[in-house]
Structures are given as structure tokens and as C-alpha cells.
A = this chain, B = another copy of it.
Amino acid sequence: MIQHTPGFGTGWRLQDNLYIWQSRFTFKLQMTSGFEIYLRAHTSLGDAEIEQIVSAGKLRSLERNELLLQEGQVCRHKTFVIKGLLRNFGTTADGSESITHFSPENSWTIDAESYHLQTPTQFSIAAVERSEVLQWNKTEFERLLHEIPALNNFSQKLITQASYGNRNRLFTTLSATPEEKYESFVKSYPDLLARLPLHMIASYLGISLKTLTRIRHSQLHR
């Protein structure tokens, strides 16, 4: 019997009807190519710098619903999502969850406050789907930022851009009706619509699942 993935990323893999042995090394090479493409598209980083960044990162696989960060922990890594989909969420006193952010492939995820201050977080990050991420711990990443000014610039730009998104999302959350929120979501993230269970979309929009299905129902008859 063929054993799959006895170690992370390592194992027999079915490809073109042949089982091939894949080492950690070739697996990482394969997984990180998307990240390299991403960096080339969004920065002016050179080959050597990209190689340096990639080799400093560690791959991690996440099962569906596996936690990347748990309430009470300190966020110790910057994380880039290579494949899959993660969600950031907080839990209220009564145990219900509110999703503050989704991070699909080719985006970053972090708990910024916990990461920068190295304090325990009130939020969690979990995989919605089986995912592959690339991670750098804080000191490692700060070294990269220091050694590679272009990465530093890019990183600042990401932080700034994230703030635009947060503000716009806050405004929508404050001012829009549930129906408008849903339509805005569909328009902004048509791809996520198909990948997320509705209760997570409801949680993200700050409305109940019931209200969401009502909206969807009423839209059928229009």
C-alpha cells in the first residue's frame, strides 16, 4: 500500500498516472512558484532577492478548519496564502463568531496588533479550505525588510492599502442595509461566494443566516 505524505510535503504523489516520489525540496519549489509570480507582479524585486525571501519562509499545510492562530496566542508570523482560503474572526462572550476578513490565495494574513506588539490576541485565524501557506517569523521577516528596501516599501504599501479596505468596509457595515451589504459582497468577491458557506458570509456581513437566505430568496423573484 502506498503511503501518502508521511512527512510534510514529502511522499508519493499521483501524477500522469504514475506515482512519483516528491521530496520536501521539490514540493516547496512547486508550491512557491505562485508566490514568486506574485512578487514579480507587484514589486520590482530581483531574482536574488526573491530567492532570499522564499528560502527564508517555511511552508505549512492547513486542514479544513485548522487554526493558524488561536485567541489568546501571540501572532508570531507573517503569512502568505499560496493556496486555499483563510478567515480571521473574533468570538463574542456568547460564543458566536464574527468574521473580520477573508484571505484567499495570493494574499497575506496576520493579526497585525498581536504581531507588532507581540501581545496575546482576541482573534483567530482558521482555514476555510485545505490551504498551503508560507510563513516568516517576526525577527526573520524584519531582517528581510531591513536588508531589502524594496520589500520594505511593498510591505508598507500593503499595510496602507489594507487600511483603505478596512475603512470602506466599516462604512458599508455601518450604513448599508443587509441587502446592500450582500450585493456589495457579491460584486466585490464573486469567486468567494462559491467557496464559502452562507453562514460565513452572513457572519462577515454582520447579519443573521436567516436574513441572508431571505435576501437570496427575494432576489430569485426579481
Contact = CB atoms under 8 A, between A and B. Distances in A.
Interface of A: 90, 92, 96, 98-100, 112-113, 116, 123, 156, 159-160, 162-164, 166-171, 173-176, 203, 206
Given A92-B175, A113-B164, A170-B170, 13 more contacts: A98-B175, A100-B170, A100-B174, A112-B160, A112-B164, A112-B167, A113-B163, A123-B171, A156-B156, A162-B163, A166-B166, A166-B167, A173-B174
Contact of A96 (B113, B160, B167, B175): B175
Contacts of A159: 159-160, 163
What are the 4 tightest A-B residue pairs by CB atom distance, in nearest-first order? A98-B175, A174-B206, A113-B164, A98-B174
A169 B92 CA distance: 14
Chain multiplicity (copies):
2
A74 to B, nearest CB: 15
24 contacts: A90-B171, A90-B175, A92-B175, A98-B174, A98-B175, A100-B170, A100-B171, A100-B174, A112-B160, A112-B164, A112-B167, A113-B168, A116-B160, A159-B159, A159-B160, A163-B163, A166-B166, A166-B167, A169-B170, A170-B173, A173-B174, A174-B203, A174-B206, A175-B206
* Contact residues of A: prevailing secondary structure: helix
Contacts of A162: 163
Given A156-B156, A159-B159, A160-B116, A98 B171 contact: yes
Given A175-B90, A175-B98, A206-B175, A166 B160 contact: no
A171 B93 CA distance: 13
A127 B36 CA distance: 47
A82 to B, nearest CB: 24
A96 to B, nearest CB: 7
B170 A166 contact: yes
Nearest to A99: B174
Nearest to A175: B98
Contacts of A171: 90, 98, 100, 123
Contacts of A170: 100, 166, 169-170, 173
Nearest to A166: B166
